[in-house]
Chain A
Amino acid sequence: MRASRRIRSGFHFTWMMIALILILILPFALAVGLSYKSGLLFQEGGGLGMLFSSDWRPQAGHFGFMPFIVSSLWVTLIAILLAGPVCILSAINLTYYAHRHVSKVMQIVIDILAGIPSVVYGVWGILVLVPLVSHTLGPLFGHEGSGYSLLTGGLVLAVMIVPFILNILLELFRTVPPDLIDASLSVGATKWQTIKRVVLKKTMPGILSSISLGISRAFGETIAVLMVVGNVIKIPKSIFDPAYPLPALIANNYGEMLSIPRYDSALMFAAMILFVIILIFNILARRIIRGSEKYI
């Protein structure tokens, strides 16, 4: 082997190792950094009670995260309830019923939707959904309001996670062996029965994990939700009330937190909560898939 080739090969390998080590360190640096900084919040008392307190007065040193956690959970729940069924039904339709061309066009539609930046979703939310909730949906259920509400946030989020979940589901349904479907059809089951009893049963773990990934995606979405959700620090009583999810809390206050003691640690703790919840859902999603692979 000529020396120059060996040198080049060595160079590439070294560079790759450096990059790999960087990549391996990053998640741990993130976890350590977040926990160190948010740990400072707990040094002067407080404790985990902060998670369940709704007293948010940074100037007085009171950091109750309850309103933010509840808001985040509600927004995510609304989004997943709206997006989940739509995604599952369209994925079935696109895989088993729709014409080839329709599927192709929809793939482009999904790709475009997935590429739209979150701030544009936010602008759309303000332009279309806020008036819709304020003038149509709200009065329909007897709620007057500005339209900046949990429901609006949930709607925007639902649209944002549709391409994400749908892509995973389409991939998932493609992996179902055609033999299974043929076998079911040949013993006299109708197409719909086959889908319900064979396809959905077989892909159930995958569907659950795609939903779980969707939840983690929705939970951390910042700008689009922040723009339409109203940002009022109060535990929301109905879906037409404004809310204040965790990512919005971080985004709105990070600039001015330096003047108030422990405020930055409180915001890092909010980031930590996000990080942990999202890790849990991601690991859960993988577990479901892993667990199901064993007995199928």
Chain B
Amino acid sequence: MRTVMFLCTILILIILFIILYSIFKKGMPALSWEMISQVPKGGYYLGKEGGILNAIIGSLYLALGSTVLALVVSLPVALYLNTRLVRYGRLTEFVRFLMDLMWGVPSIVYGAFAFTIMIALGIRASLLAGIITVALFIIPIMLRSMDEILKTTPRGLLEASISLGSTYSEVSYRVYLKQCLPGIVTAVLLSFGRAIGDAAAILFTTGYTDHIPTSLSQPSATLPLSIFFQLSSPIPEVQNRAYASAVVLMVIILIISIVSRILANRFIKHQIKH
């Protein structure tokens, strides 16, 4: 039995290596400086010159915008759930329950829902629509992961601060936020990773163009969709570029994962030990 268990563990490790190896092996040869520094030129999707800079920048805009939007909504709620609202047990449990359910809702449902609303209101696919859709989809993720961290803060910290005369907003933003900064940074970066990698929610809401968007009302290309579209092309060169784009996306995700580890370790020194 121990051997089987060991093999299962090793299997997971091997699968990760196979994934990384196959993506990098197939994508690296097609990856060039030109690909990540230029926008598609005429005939790019027939195998001619150009790159996927539009998709890289578009994805970064989209992920950054939606992460900021989600942060603005979920940070206050997560903080107050653990400070001001902590005495309303029913309400906090209800919010947590709803957010858990919303976390489970697949991004395609958010995408379809947002698209229907956009049609009803007559809004075209745009960067802003994509940002809002993705924000809706990462709010539960961000809120619940922050909340889980904040929950671990000792209650005494809240009581001590309040009894010294600070307001709830001061306790929230000066004490709790600082105390839980490593976890919150990790939560934000996790959501950023989700936002940049998701394809289903932006399939209809963000559109696709060949140039870098200059305003929020323009449609925008994104990396996952650029991979998806290039891969469905019958031309081998274009398919190879899809693999190269997958490498770019993978590298971004790996960077996020490394940065979040480093930041989490760095901010840990501000914590009050207990």
Contact = CB atoms under 8 A, between A and B. Distances in A.
Interface string A1-25: 1000110110111011001101110
Summarize B's interface: helix, strand, loop or mixed.
helix
A278 B173 CA distance: 35
A119 B199 contact: yes
Contacts of A92: 5
Given A33-B113, A159-B15, A86 B8 contact: yes
Contact of B169 (A13, A121, A264): A13
Contacts of A143: none
B150 to A, nearest CB: 13
Interface stretch (B16-24, B33-41, B152-160, B210-218): B16-24
A220 B15 CA distance: 22
B168 interface: yes
26 contacts: A9-B169, A12-B76, A12-B169, A12-B172, A13-B84, A16-B84, A24-B95, A27-B98, A27-B101, A90-B11, A97-B2, A109-B16, A113-B12, A113-B16, A117-B196, A117-B198, A117-B199, A118-B199, A119-B224, A124-B22, A126-B231, A220-B106, A227-B231, A254-B112, A255-B204, A271-B109
Interface in A144-193: 159, 162, 166, 192
Interface residues of B, number: 78
A190 to B, nearest CB: 11
Contacts of A126: 231
Contacts of A81: none
Contacts of B193: 115, 117
A37 B116 contact: yes
Interface string A65-101: 0000000000000000000011001101110011000
B257 A268 contact: no
Given A223-B200, A274-B106, A267 B112 contact: yes
Interface of A: 1, 5-6, 8-9, 11-13, 15-16, 19-20, 22-24, 26-27, 30, 33-34, 37, 85-86, 89-90, 92-94, 97-98, 102, 106, 109-113, 115-124, 126-128, 159, 162, 166, 192, 213, 216-217, 219-223, 227, 247, 250-251, 254-255, 258, 264, 267-268, 271, 274-275, 278-279, 281-283, 286
B106 A109 contact: no
A92 B2 CA distance: 10
B108 A192 contact: no
A22 B73 contact: yes
A112 to B, nearest CB: 6
B246 interface: yes
Interface of B: 1-2, 4-6, 8-9, 11-13, 15-16, 18-19, 22-23, 26, 72-74, 76-77, 79-80, 84, 95, 97-102, 104-113, 115-117, 119, 136, 139, 143, 165, 167-170, 172-173, 190, 193, 196-200, 203-204, 224, 227-228, 231, 242-243, 246, 249-250, 253-254, 256-257
A111 B256 CA distance: 11
A265 to B, nearest CB: 10
